Amino acid sequence: MGTLSIEHPDKVYIGGKWLVPQGSGKLHLVNPASGDVICAVAEAGAEDVDRAVAAARAAFDTGPWPRLAPAERAGLMRALGAQLEARGATLEAMWIDQVGVPVAMARGVGMGAGALLNYYAALAEGTRFEDVRPSAGFQSKVAVVVREPVGVVAAINPWNGPLVGMLMKVAPALAAGCTIIMKPAPETPLDAFVIAEAAEAAGLPAGVINLLPADREVSDLLVRHPGVDKVAFTGSTSVGLQVAQICAARMARYTMELGGKSAAIILDDFDPAQTGPMLAPLVTQLCGQACINYSRILVPRTHYRDHVASLAAAMAAVAVGDPWAETTAMGPLAMGRQRERVEGYIAAGIREGARLATGGGRPSGLDRGFYIEPTVFSDATNDMVIAREEIFGPVTAMIPYDSVDEAVAIANASEYGLSGGVYTGDTDRAYAIARRIRTGHFTQNGREFDLTNPFGGFKKSGVGREGGPEGMEAYVELKTVFLPSTPASLS
């Protein structure tokens, strides 16, 4: 176990100060590898929501942050990134001990945080926030199209990616000039404490970043609060639909990254011997608790059994165990309730007639913690619950197809549209198939995750995009100013 030390576990961060929360509640954090409580932190309440919104509102309406030159914001963002990089060992330990990710995956997460902030700092410096254009109107000669920050942002993040997931919202919001209220998942709030500590050390103005560690009721209060201009939410589709309805009722802006049921399509030129080595890591990464994992694998019927055998062998060989062991490739599920959920889906797959090619139970010798075996179902059909619903565990269903048209139809026959992939040596075929699949994210022979490019989904997988320049565009409003001539400051 690593160090989970934070400076102010009993406080919330509001308006540039560490304050005692209004309530006396605590969030108790559990290590998924052991099931033991590892620490407790303050729990914010309803009055803290009002305090945080007021602080973020004041920082936006009258504070310096939205009025700084982009280069000045960029300098402070780089300082924030440097502070997070300096806390890299702590952030790695937090991801391991809160979520159960293997140390090999957690290593370098602090550097990744710094890189993301540096990317958006550079983007802020290079963006034309004021664009002078000719006007074809009757009275004006010039139109200045201005990108202005959307305002106060509620950043609501899930438990599986507590650092990078939060920074996917915080970094572009800061670049655009917004102020932020971080609402981390109650199971994994420690990373957000570190972000707040780093913001204080980096000298960000008071109220630009605020922290509310709390349960889900506080998320609801934030979403409904009239002082919040935009909600950036990552989580389940069911909750996302509720958030969208609330935001729509008051015309608040929102972006959402929700669930997925991503399909990998294996074409007939792909060697079955490569199926297991290449796909097993993309099913078991984060113990399957990633919305972009391949939870459906579509296989040509002519080579179906060979591909099943390859993946089953590779999944059975995945090293499951202590997340702190260098040899571990997959740790536990993050919570007891998550293991119960995954076990329920495995039981449903068996009831519906799918065949367990490997896995389905608790790994031998791991009697404590929330472990589950990497699991492959064969003889699955796309109408089974294991092929329709997001399991969020290391479970995949292998579905046979007879033609590429059928494979495309199966891949698209989902209420989700987040990610997907195709396995073939022919890039022209891969691109042609990618254009036919209704997802926001698609890769040939793997699964790329690159936050310098847009990430998000179609259908019930979300609204809007995170990452890339498009990620910052989600935090601006457009204003058109008509003038008789170009202002001297823009000449």
CA 384 to chain centre: 27
Q: How confident is the model at residue 1 (pLDDT cuts 50, 70, 90)?
A: very low
Q: Average pLDDT of 239-251? A: 96
Q: Which residues contact 207 (CB under 8 A, 6 or more apart)?
A: 14, 15, 16, 55, 56, 58, 59, 60, 63, 179
Q: How confident is the model at residue 112 (pLDDT cuts 50, 70, 90)?
A: very high
Q: How confident is the model at residue 24 (pLDDT cuts 50, 70, 90)?
A: confident
Instruction: Identify the residue whose tokens are 């504070």.
Output: 63
Q: Which residues contact 24 (CB under 8 A, 6 or more apart)?
A: none
Q: Express as a percent the part of the chain with pLDDT over 90.
A: 98
pLDDT above 90 (res 216): no
By C-alpha distance, which of 226, 233, 294 is closest to 266? 294
Locate the DSSP E strands across 244-293: 253-257, 262-266
pLDDT above 50 (res 198): yes
pLDDT at 5 (0 to 100): 84
Q: Which residues contact 260 (CB under 8 A, 6 or more apart)?
A: 291, 292, 293, 295, 390, 416, 417, 418, 419, 457, 461
Q: What is the mean pLDDT of the chain?
A: 96
Q: Is 291 a catalytic residue?
A: yes
pLDDT at 3 (0 to 100): 54
Q: What angle do CA 324, 328, 332 make, to 5 degrees?
A: 75
Give me the catalytic one of 85, 200, 291, 373.
291
- List domains and CATH numbers for the chain: 12-258+461-482 (3.40.605.10), 262-444 (3.40.309.10)
**C-beta of residue 85 within 8 angstroms of C-beta of residue 185:** no
pLDDT above 60 (res 2): no
Instruction: Identify the residue whose tokens are 């605020």.
Output: 210
Give me the catalytic one of 187, 197, 257, 373.
257
CA distance 52 to 75: 25
Q: Average pLDDT of 237-250? A: 96
Q: How deeply is 135 buried, as exposed, middle or buried, from its count of CB atoms within 10 A (0-12, 13-18, 19+)?
A: middle
